[in-house]
Amino acid sequence: MKDILVTGGLGYIGSHTVVQLIEKNYNVTIVDNLSNSKIFILDNIEKITGKRPHYFNIDLTDYNKINSCFSKNKFDGVIHFAALKSVSESVNHPDKYYHNNLNSLLNLLRCMKENDIKNIIFSSSCTVYGQPDKLPVSEKSPFKEAESPYARTKQMSENIIEDFTNSISYLSAISLRYFNPVGAHHSGLIGELPLGTPDNLVPYITQTAAGIRQELKIFGDDYNTHDGTAIRDYIHVEDLAEAHITALQRMIENKMKSKYEYYNIGTGVGYSVLDVVKSFENVNKLKLNYSFSERRSGDIEKMFSDCTISNKKLGWNSKNGLDEMMSSAWKWEKNISKFLKG
């Protein structure tokens, strides 16, 4: 049985990946400083799987603390989620994003080097492509100018990881470039949990439907799209979690063709903001209150993936459609308040 360290394992994507790791009989250790999560998620992971993963409350920017964790435990691989992720916040506070996202990665890689740990999967993002010249975007598309400090930290992080794999003979890495994760676990026990005002579309939709927000503000109605709103490739979080398991198995079974690989993780289908709103209304039999406002700094017009390489080489495919994403997101939203109250 393999032992896997999951940083940010109580966060949105991390928690869903932890569940699937446990279900695949991996031993899991979580490191999470709860900056964007809540401890009840650990309880709910146990409810879903019947097992409680090891947990350490550690900030990865504190090298001494994370090094102590490595020295006391033996890991066969690392899945690195822990990072700040708000595009708009990064525009206003770039120092915060460079400090956290880069230093945490450097500390982690340093600990891996000192403890001879050879496998890491990195939580990357389609934002590394900037606004591509051609859609759908494939892994062969070059990095364009980053549209936000958040996106730039992802570009820089990938470069750092590749440099480490080149310099350490036994180190291998896979970067998964996510498109737009949405939805929640089918149990309704874990899902996206924004602290404060949501920065992402779907939790803002669900909070508006729940009466927490007065209305949904749609940023921009003058994009060059079929309805004027921005287009993204939305992927169900459970499909995204499965991609991590597939990537980890590829590494452990020594099937990688190079020391550093990277894959697009999306559906290959682009939906506009209004497409998402209509799906949510239809599948949940609800009517949303929404209005339009100015474009948001750091946002791009269109982004959707070409998943040919991840389908063929990684052997992974998305399974859930937009309606499944929207129904699971609403199921989770209806449970959140009782979990927060304990």
Residue in this structure with the two tokens 């603390």, named with its chain if needed:
65
Rounded Cα distance between 200 and 256, Å, is 33
One-character DSSP codes across 231-250: EE-EEEHHHHHHHHHHHHHH
Residue in this structure with the two tokens 């708009």, named with its chain if needed:
88
294-330 burial, b at 16+ Cβ within 10 Å, e below that, comes to eeeebbbebbbbbbebbeeebebebebebebbbbbbb
Q: Torsion angle, CA of 172/175/181/187, rounded to 10 degrees?
A: 0
Q: State the catalytic residues.
A: 150
Beta-sheet pairing, 119-125 with 216-219: unpaired
Helices 12-23 and 237-252 meet at what angle, rounded to 10? 60
Rounded Cα distance between 78 and 252, Å, is 11
User: Which pair of structure tokens corresponds to residue 280?
Assistant: 């949510």
Q: Which residues of the chain form beta strands (DSSP E)?
A: 3-7, 27-31, 54-56, 77-80, 119-125, 172-178, 180-182, 216-219, 231-232, 234-236, 260-265, 271-272, 290-293
Query: Chain centroid to CA 300: how far?
Result: 18
